[in-house]
Amino acid sequence: MKAAKTPIFFSSSASAKTDLWQESCALRKQYWGCQVFLRGIVEISNHCRQNCLYCGLRRGNRRLRRYRMDGAAIFDAAKAVKRVGFGTVVLQSGEDSGLSAEAVAELVERIKRDLGLAVTLSLGEWDRATYALWRRSGADRYLLKLETMEEMQYARLRPGRRLSERLNALMHLRDLGYEVGSGLITGLPEETEESLDRGLEGLASLELDMLSVSPFIPHPETPLKGHPPGDVTTNLYAMALGRKLMPEAHIPVTSALGLQGDAVRLAALEVADVLMLSLTPPEVRGDYAIYPGKNGDLEDPQERAARFRPILEAAGFTVPSSAGGAWRLGAGS
């Protein structure tokens, strides 16, 4: 997947944006047909060593009730993902220094052996040796979002961190044989239409297997509590541009965008092809509060997951039982 040089879309006319949307819809159908791949997320910990200005899990949030699931609870949640018929479990957390790399490796190996699920990890930045251990244990994919590709903006939003460190981690993951995903948040401070274009083109140059584009939602316990939320329409067009630049990539409808309701979720699926639903146990799922409303519904996670199938089928989508791997590995054949 190589990014072609493209014009600036976010400064283009309304007709150009309509053309972009239609072209991206066609590319989605060309590569993934009407398929929607369902992934079950298990948010295993909300501890985080980072202090990002936009995230409710930041270590400076003293009002957040912290939790860390043990191995047995995580495996039980993975079994729930299997029961509802999803092909992939996503193990996600803050950047939790309290996680044992060896324990994660053992858990991944057990999930692969006993449940036969594809395993995606989204556990933040670790050293290459840890990534290698998890890959040897059977982890298939790794999602490591950048949120912005602008170096100075990145440094301000993630105090003490550098964009180059994140990019190096992505390269380690690619070299180790993971299916690799990353992404952006739209609507962050200092963002312009041009910087968003540059960010998507920069991500395309990384030849990703997965691309996430999510609207910013301010959290009241962060320094950005007064910043306006990201615009939904801008986020949808960013997803469309991502599809144009990376036609073969898996693109999810993020949970932040899903807060806008089923109508927006279904509209996004015209260019996206993945839904990731939280199956985190009810006793802790509300504490994974990266933004207000995240996991805020009271519906049983398994019932909620089952409810989506008829909604998708009524809208003309199909829900395959396969895990939906990377296109370059033959998932589209």
- Domains of the chain (ranges; CATH) run 14-301 (3.20.20.70)
pLDDT tens-digit profile, the chain (333 residues) = 444 455 567 767 888 889 999 999 999 999 999 999 999 999 999 999 999 999 999 999 999 999 999 999 999 999 999 999 999 999 999 999 999 999 999 999 999 999 999 999 999 999 999 999 999 999 999 999 999 999 999 999 999 999 999 999 999 999 999 999 999 999 999 999 899 999 999 999 999 999 999 999 999 999 999 999 999 999 999 999 999 999 999 999 999 998 999 999 999 999 999 999 999 999 999 999 999 988 877 677 678 777 888 999 999 999 998 889 999 998 754
| 182 in Cβ contact with 211 (< 8 Å) | yes
Handedness of CA 111, 116, 117, 123 (dihedral sign): positive
Return the residue matching tokens 């952006």.
184
Which of 144, 200, 137 has its CA nearest to residue 5?
Answer: 200
| 90 in Cβ contact with 143 (< 8 Å) | yes
Handedness of CA 151, 156, 157, 159 (dihedral sign): positive
Which pLDDT score is estimated for 3? Answer: 43
> CB within 8 A of 322, min separation 6: which ones?
37, 87, 331
Which pLDDT score is estimated for 167? Answer: 98
> CB within 8 A of 304, min separation 6: which ones?
277, 297
The neighbour count for residue 317, using CB atoms within 10 Å, is 19
- pTM assigned to the model: 0.95
Which pLDDT score is estimated for 308? Answer: 85
Fill in the amino acid letter for 8: I
Beta-sheet strands, E only, within the chain: 37-45, 88-93, 118-122, 141-143, 179-186, 210-215, 252-253, 274-278
The neighbour count for residue 314, using CB atoms within 10 Å, is 9
CA distance 49 to 59: 6
Helix intervals (H) in 176-226 = 193-205
Using only C-alpha atoms, what is the Rg of the chain?
Answer: 18
3-state class (DSSP) for residue 120: strand
CA distance 221 to 21: 36
According to DSSP, residue 49 is labeled S
Fill in the amino acid letter for 252: P
Which pLDDT score is estimated for 7? Answer: 52
Structure token digits, residue 135: 């890959």
Return the residue matching tokens 């316990």.
221
Structure token digits, residue 95: 């950047």
Beta bridge mates, 93? 45
Return the residue matching tokens 């191995």.
71
